[in-house]
Each structure stands twice: as structure tokens, then as C-alpha cells.
């Protein structure tokens, strides 16, 4: 048996000014051929689960590409070709018995607003009967094209995503059982016009917790897999928003009934998917009253893990203004500042404009650096390995990295975007996050994977950035309308 195993992942923020050329995938890690297996065997990724299943089955692995990039703006046409051409060429050669694909589900490219659906459609055009298993992120914007061109599709049930290997194994097993004639997968999918906000999708919290619990409870008897997708609201494309898919063993009616039950539950809870704001100064002042740390301060509007520039200084400036003591920040993206600190040398005192190098025209903001004076504590290559529970075993490349001590605040400054979901963002540069009173994290929910176990309290800080939860700042041009909460008509006639 010959199994095609590949990964193509990007969460596209249509409002982000950060370009997404092919080099962005190379910087994160783009592998071809045997290097794919070497890079991802033993990791907690879906592709790691696929490799485990294939090797256990004694299958020959065809691995044309595995590539991922941190979320950013629309994927360039060249990058999309670099991602999809190797997969399509492998399929066109023939001799493939099945495919296992590790996708995201929210890729918007210059060539297509539905990056994954277009890829799957092209694969099926080349090999109409090819069995295909697909894993998607919980933030996938599921489309008809995606579902119509695969055999079984599943999504993560955790946010932060700590079950990637689990769901990869689950859908991979469905595919292998289908090849053996043990099951006959049929799928029912649908959506509701809810543009849920990412801050309200944590699976330890309602409303997602209840929806995930219901999906898990449905997975028995003829139901092989059930997934509720929160969707990615910052991908300005027609299908952005909440959806669900159910994979059943030959019973389309049961799959459809389960899908509808999940979607109806989500619609009843639609108001819970909207984030409620708090003035930034009040949030930081509230944090100041908490004496025992670490207190986690989330700079969520500038989260590079959702396409943020990671160089907005609004929250950091307020933390400095209110003179919070014993703070560590992860991380500010500013390659120029890193180079300046490297030239000055460890132990030097420098004054420099930090962050604020990127304009954000989609929300009408100019970059605004913050001039700071501090001591260069460390310069490193920024390379380390995630210890879990998210992306376990994957090597992180933050690029050249420096730590700048500004008063009582230690700021990790990086040359490549990286969201802080693992303690290694601090420990790799000599900072013990457990010993800090405050940790400023440019994150939304993924921080929980590494930091929730050590945090005494968590406060969301409504700063500036293109991952804002303020819908009034965003102009959607391609999103289907009406949709909640952007529109509130009295009648929603189609369900």
C-alpha cells in the first residue's frame, strides 16, 4: 500500500499587513520527500499520527511536502503553487492508494479564497476515486468544496490544540478501515451564520466546551467522528464562521440529525460567542492589585498566532506607565532592534525605538514605536524545541533573539513571529516564567497550553492590532451576509 502523506497549513488573516510569500513557510519549516518523515515522526501533530499509522500498516509513505507558516496576510500565488504543486504532481504520477492530509482550513490565497477546498478539488480531478482523509484546525472555515472532495474530515476538539495527534489518528484509522472494507464513511456538514470570536472559543469555557462535549458524546455506534468548528473570523471569505461535520458509517440520516443537533445548540448560544471589552487602563490597574503571580496579561489584539504584527506596543506601554513590577514579555517582533542589541553586545545599555514598525491600514493605524532605554541581557539564535502539550517535539525558529531589560520589565524581542504557547519562549532565553509576578503574552487562547498551569490569574488586555475583537474596526468585503453579530435581522429564514 502506498499512502500520500502531506501537510499544508496557514491561517489567513485578511486584515493583516504581514505578507505571506513562500519564504515565510521556509522560515517556519518546509520539508520535502524523506525529510517530511524525519521532521514529523514522533511529534504530536496530525501528520505525526499519519506517519505512525502508515508505518504500523507497513505502507510505503509518499511525502511530497510538509509546510506551515505562522498566520499572516493573504498567501501569495507563488507560495500557493509551491505548497500545492508537489502534492498534485505526486497524485498525477499515480500508484497512490490513499491520501492523508494535515490541513488548516482557513487559507485564503491570491488564487483562491478556499485554499484547502481548491487543493482537494484538484486532487480529485486527477484521481476521482482516491480515498482522502483530512484533519483541520478548530478554526477552519469549512466549505462545500472541502467536504465534497474528501472521504472523511475531522477537526481538533481542543483550543489550545493539544489533541492534534488524537484526531489525526482517528480520521486516519477511519480511512484505513474504509480501505479494508470495514466501514463506509458518509459525511453531513453545515453551518450557521455566526461569526464567532476567537477569544470565546476556548474549549475549557462555554460555549465551546458544551459543543465539544456534545460532539464527543455523539461519537458512538455508527458515528465515527463529529466536529464543531468555531471558524476563523478574520479570514474575509464567504464561508467564514461556525460549522459542523459528522462522519457516519453508511448512515447519512443519522449523520445529518447529529449535525443539526450540534448546529442548533450553537445557534441558541450565539450571544456567548461575542467578547465583551474592558478599558485597557482599568484591566492593567486591576492586575496591579493581584499580589501573587504569575498573573497572565493577554495582549490579544496583537497575537501573531492569528496574524497580528506582534510589534504593537500599546499594552506594554501601559504596563510601563503603571509601573508594574517583575514583568516578562513574550514576544515583540522587531528584527532591527535585535540587530541593534546584538551590535551593542550583552551588558550594554541601549536606547532604541522598539516595535511599532508596521502600519495597519485595514484598521487605520500607523506603526508607533516606543522609545525605551534598557540593558541587553542576552542574545541567542532563538532555536528551541516545544516540550508540550502543544506542538510537542517541534523545533521553534524565532530567529535571532534578544532580551532587553527596561526597568522592571524583561522583553523578549524576536526576528521571526512566534506565539507564546510553550514555556520555552522564556526558558530558552534564560527567563524563569514561574518566578515572575506578571507575564505579558501576545496570545489569545493558545497560551493556556504552556502557561495556564502556572498562572494564578489571567486578564485580557484590549490593546491595538489586527487581531482585534472589536468588529467595528473591521470592514468585511467578501463575508456572506447577513451574519451574527454584524447583522441582527428579525428573521433568519434558511433554517
pLDDT at 494 over 80: no
Residue 240 sits in a domain whose CATH number is 3.40.50.2300
Q: Is residue 488 part of a domain?
A: no
Q: Is residue 439 part of a domain?
A: yes
Q: What is the mean pLDDT of residues 361-384?
A: 98
Return the number of other C-beta atoms located less than 10 Å from residue 343's C-beta: 11
Q: What is the mean pLDDT of residues 380-395?
A: 94
Q: Is residue 480 part of a domain?
A: no
Q: Percentage of the chain surpassing pLDDT 70?
A: 99
Q: What is the mean pLDDT of residues 206-233?
A: 98
Residue whose C-alpha is closest to residue 415's, from 127, 70, 125, 145: 70
How confident is the model at residue 495, as a pLDDT?
52
Q: What is the mean pLDDT of residues 122-128?
A: 98
Check whether residue 205 and residue 290 sit in a common domain: no
Q: What is the mean pLDDT of residues 14-24?
A: 98
Cα R_g (the chain), whole angstroms? 22
How confident is the model at residue 488, as a pLDDT?
77
Report the domain count for the chain. 2
Among 246, 273, 300, the domain boundary falls at 273
- Structural contact between residues 11 and 106, judged by C-beta atoms closer than 8 angstroms: yes
How confident is the model at residue 245, as a pLDDT?
98
Check whether residue 325 and residue 188 sit in a common domain: no
Check whether residue 21 and residue 165 sit in a common domain: yes
pLDDT at 493 over 60: no
* Strand arrangement of the beta sheet that strand 370-380 belongs to: 349-354, 370-380, 401-406, 409-414, 327-333, 438-441, 295-298, 457-460
Q: Is residue 477 part of a domain?
A: no
How confident is the model at residue 61, as a pLDDT?
98
**Digit-coded pLDDT (tens) for 145-182:** 999 999 999 999 999 999 999 999 999 999 999 999 99
How confident is the model at residue 491, as a pLDDT?
57
Mean pLDDT for the chain overall:
97
Q: Percentage of the chain surpassing pLDDT 90?
A: 98
Check whether residue 269 and residue 299 sit in a common domain: no
How confident is the model at residue 330, as a pLDDT?
98
Q: Is residue 491 part of a domain?
A: no
Check whether residue 157 and residue 295 sit in a common domain: no
Separation CA 199–CA 193 (nearest Å):
18
Check whether residue 308 and residue 268 sit in a common domain: no
pLDDT at 490 over 90: no
Check whether residue 253 and residue 298 sit in a common domain: no
- CA distances to 381, 390, 428 from 385, in Å: 13, 11, 9
Domain that holds residue 378: 280-468
Q: What is the mean pLDDT of residues 313-319?
A: 98
Q: What is the mean pLDDT of residues 64-90?
A: 98
How confident is the model at residue 388, as a pLDDT?
84
pTM: 0.96
- Structural contact between residues 142 and 262, judged by C-beta atoms closer than 8 angstroms: no
Among 227, 250, 273, the domain boundary falls at 273
Among 223, 244, 273, the domain boundary falls at 273
Q: Is residue 479 part of a domain?
A: no
Q: Is residue 410 part of a domain?
A: yes
Convert 358-388 to b/e letters by CB count within 10 Å (16 or more is b): bebebbebebbbbebebbbbbbbebebebeb
Check whether residue 311 and residue 264 sit in a common domain: no
Check whether residue 238 and residue 310 sit in a common domain: no
pLDDT at 117 over 90: yes
Check whether residue 199 and residue 261 sit in a common domain: yes
Instruction: Provide CB contacts within 8 A for 230, sequence distance 6+.
Output: 138, 139, 159, 196, 198, 201, 208, 242, 273
Q: What is the mean pLDDT of residues 218-235?
A: 98
Check whether residue 260 and residue 343 sit in a common domain: no
Instruction: Provide CB contacts within 8 A for 299, sequence distance 6+.
Output: 312, 314, 315, 316, 440, 441, 442, 443, 461, 463, 465
Give the residue carrying C-alpha cell 458509517.
249
Check whether residue 144 and residue 41 sit in a common domain: yes
Q: Is residue 481 part of a domain?
A: no
Amino acid at each position: 500500500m502506498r499512502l500520500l502523506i502531506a501537510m499544508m497549513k496557514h491561517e489567513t488573516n485578511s486584515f493583516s499587513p504581514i505578507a505571506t510569500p513562500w519564504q515565510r513557510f521556509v522560515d517556519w519549516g518546509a520539508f520535502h520527500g524523506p525529510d517530511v518523515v524525519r521532521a514529523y515522526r514522533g511529534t504530536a501533530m496530525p501528520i505525526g499520527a499519519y506517519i505512525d499509522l502508515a508505518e504500523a500498516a507497513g505502507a510505503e509513505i509518499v511525502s511530497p511536502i510538509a509546510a506551515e507558516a505562522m498566520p499572516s496576510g493573504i498567501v501569495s500565488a507563488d507560495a500557493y503553487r509551491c505548497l500545492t504543486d508537489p502534492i498534485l504532481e505526486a497524485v498525477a504520477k499515480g500508484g497512490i492508494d490513499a491520501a492523508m492530509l494535515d490541513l488548516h482550513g482557513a487559507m485564503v490565497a491570491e488564487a483562491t479564497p478556499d485554499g484547502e477546498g481548491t487543493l482537494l478539488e484538484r486532487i480529485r480531478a486527477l484521481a476521482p476515486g482516491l480515498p482522502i482523509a483530512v484533519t483541520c484546525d478548530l478554526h477552519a472555515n469549512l466549505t462545500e468544496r472541502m467536504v465534497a472532495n474528501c472521504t472523511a474530515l475531522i477537526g481538533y476538539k481542543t483550543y489550545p490544540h493539544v489533541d492534534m495527534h488524537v484526531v489525526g489518528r482517528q480520521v486516519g484509522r477511519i480511512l484505513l478501515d474504509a480501505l479494508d472494507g470495514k466501514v463506509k464513511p458518509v459525511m453531513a456538514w453545515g453551518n450557521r451564520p455566526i461569526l464567532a470570536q476567537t477569544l470565546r472559543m476556548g474549549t475549557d469555557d462555554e460555549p465551546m466546551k458544551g459543543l465539544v462535549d456534545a460532539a464527543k458524546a455523539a461519537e458512538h455506534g455508527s458515528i465515527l467522528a463529529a466536529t464543531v468548528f468555531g471558524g476563523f473570523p478574520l479570514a474575509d471569505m464567504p464561508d467564514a464562521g461556525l460549522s459542523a461535520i459528522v462522519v457516519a458509517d453508511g448512515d447519512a440520516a443519522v449523520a445529518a440529525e447529529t449535525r443539526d443537533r450540534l448546529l442548533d445548540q450553537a445557534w441558541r448560544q450565539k450571544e456567548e460567542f461575542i467578547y465583551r471589552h474592558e478599558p485597557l487602563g482599568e484591566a492593567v490597574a486591576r492586575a496591579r492589585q493581584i499580589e501573587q503571580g504569575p498573573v497572565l496579561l493577554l495582549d490579544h489584539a496583537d497575537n501573531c498566532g492569528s496574524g497580528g504584527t506582534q510589534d504593537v506596543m500599546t499594552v506594554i506601554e501601559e504596563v510601563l506607565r503603571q509601573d508594574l513590577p517583575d514583568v516578562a514579555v513574550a514576544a515583540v517582533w522587531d528584527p532591527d532592534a535585535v540587530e541593534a542589541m546584538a551590535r551593542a553586545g550583552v551588558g550594554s545599555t541601549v536606547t532604541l525605538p522598539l516595535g511599532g514598525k508596521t502600519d495597519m491600514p485595514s484598521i487605520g493605524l500607523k506603526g508607533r514605536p516606543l522609545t525605551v532605554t534598557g540593558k541587553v541581557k542576552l542574545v541567542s539564535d532563538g532555536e528551541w524545541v516545544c516540550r508540550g502539550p502543544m506542538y510537542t517535539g517541534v523545533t521553534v525558529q524565532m530567529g535571532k533573539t534578544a532580551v532587553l531589560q527596561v526597568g522592571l520589565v524583561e522583553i523578549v524581542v524576536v526576528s521571526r513571529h512566534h506565539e507564546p504557547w510553550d514555556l520555552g519562549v522564556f526558558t530558552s532565553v534564560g527567563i524563569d516564567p514561574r518566578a515572575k509576578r506578571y507575564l505579558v503574552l501576545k496570545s489569545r487562547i493558545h497560551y493556556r497550553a504552556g502557561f495556564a498551569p502556572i498562572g494564578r490569574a489571567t486578564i485580557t488586555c484590549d490593546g491595538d492590532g489586527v487581531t482585534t475583537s472589536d468588529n467595528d474596526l473591521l470592514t468585511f468585503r467578501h463575508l456572506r451576509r447577513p451574519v451574527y453579530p454584524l447583522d441582527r435581522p428579525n428573521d433568519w429564514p434558511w433554517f
